[in-house]
Amino acid sequence: MTDQSGRMRVCILGAGGLGSVIGGYLAHSGVDVTLIGRPTHVEAIRRNGLRITGRLGEFRICQNLSTVTTADAADGHFDYMILLVKSKDTESALEGAVGLRPRVDTVLSLQNDPLRTDKLGRWIDPRKVIGAVTVEGGTLIGPGHVDNHLTSTTTAYFGELDGTESIRAKRLATAFTNAGLNSAAVDNIMQVTWEKLTQVASASAWSISTLPAIRTLYFVDGIKIREGAEHFVQLTKELLSVYKGLGYEPQNFFAPFSRLKEIDSMAFEDAVQSSIGVGAYMQANSMQSRTSMHDDLLRGRKMEAEEIFLPFIDKASEMGLSIPTVTAVHRVATVLNHYLKN
């Protein structure tokens, strides 16, 4: 429900790195945003505004932005609720947000979890759930401060789960685009979802198995090295075999970083050269970026390895496909997760 001045109202359940970047830019563009986050972050924003640094420069956002620490404290009715806690926290966050349920028209999640729309559909009338995917990069630097380090030509996609067109998906895509987050409404959101998962699983599996022993390294530092690119191509080809087994052909929805089409169509050596080319592009554009799984590992926080790798391992097993490198990285991640805090 828009407010009295006709503004769209959005609440973000789990305003950490990505949720604060998205909520902050939406508020800056005139959307009425409520961030539901942790007390230290909320208190810092209340004191000094939300600071966003990164690819669009520096912002301090105070207007159109409310902050609360519980869903019950979020005031009024919302056009959209965006779920952005880490996947491990989905159930507890939704449980704590029962009071919000009758006050939201449309719900969506931008998490990297293939089961997220099912989880939302069990929490609320499934007709209120739409699909959503983004590659936008946000990291919580400290209370009240997030960094926005990554985007792509089209950074977010929205769509009905049954593939029909809808005003609500188009309206949200327009709001994101107006906020500097170039977005599209599509009729194939499930394919975009699996393609994004393929991309994030390959980048995450690669990062956590290649870079974290040296804490200062970014994605670009490993992918520009031949052996790094070889490991990346091996992981990506295995993940692509599952994606294609589901009946999809790669489209590079998240160009220019996605090279899934090229890696799929090219022989191994050519794909390695293409991946080294991504590294050169990132270096030329001074792009220092990490996957959120790599960030979590560096911060000593549990990684979303179960949610991101297991669906591929399970699907591969169902389809009789062999993905040994992905399976090996999942094993390593499981050992590390055993010792990381929630």
Binding positions for ligand NAP, rule: CB under 6 A: 14, 16-19, 36-38, 84-87, 89, 92-93, 96, 110-113, 134, 137-138, 140, 292, 304
Q: Minimum distance from CB of 4 to ligand NAP (Å)?
A: 27
Q: Which residue is nearest to ligand NAP (CB)?
A: 16
Residue with tokens 């198995």: 209
Cα–Cα distance, 117 to 239 (Å, whole number): 22
Task: For ligand NAP, give the closer residue by CB, 42 or 263.
Answer: 42
Sequence-ordered list of residues with C-beta below 8 angstroms from that of 327, at least 6 positions apart, any chain:
313
Q: Minimum distance from CB of 209 to ligand NAP (Å)?
A: 18
The CA distances from residue 231 to 10, 156, 234, 242, 272, in Å, are 41, 28, 5, 18, 9
Asked whether 199 and 219 are in contact (CB, 8 A), the reply is no
Task: For ligand NAP, give the closer residue by CB, 89 or 221.
Answer: 89
Task: For ligand NAP, give the closer residue by CB, 19 or 228.
Answer: 19
Task: For ligand NAP, give the closer residue by CB, 42 or 229.
Answer: 42
Q: Minimum distance from CB of 6 to ligand NAP (Å)?
A: 28
Q: Minimum distance from CB of 185 to ligand NAP (Å)?
A: 19
Q: Minimum distance from CB of 266 to ligand NAP (Å)?
A: 26
Task: For ligand NAP, give the closer residue by CB, 19 or 114.
Answer: 19
Cα–Cα distance, 230 to 250 (Å, whole number): 20
Cα–Cα distance, 134 to 299 (Å, whole number): 23
Residues paired with residue 132 on neighbouring β-strands, in sequence order: 158
Radius of gyration for the chain, computed over Cα atoms and rounded to the nearest angstrom: 19
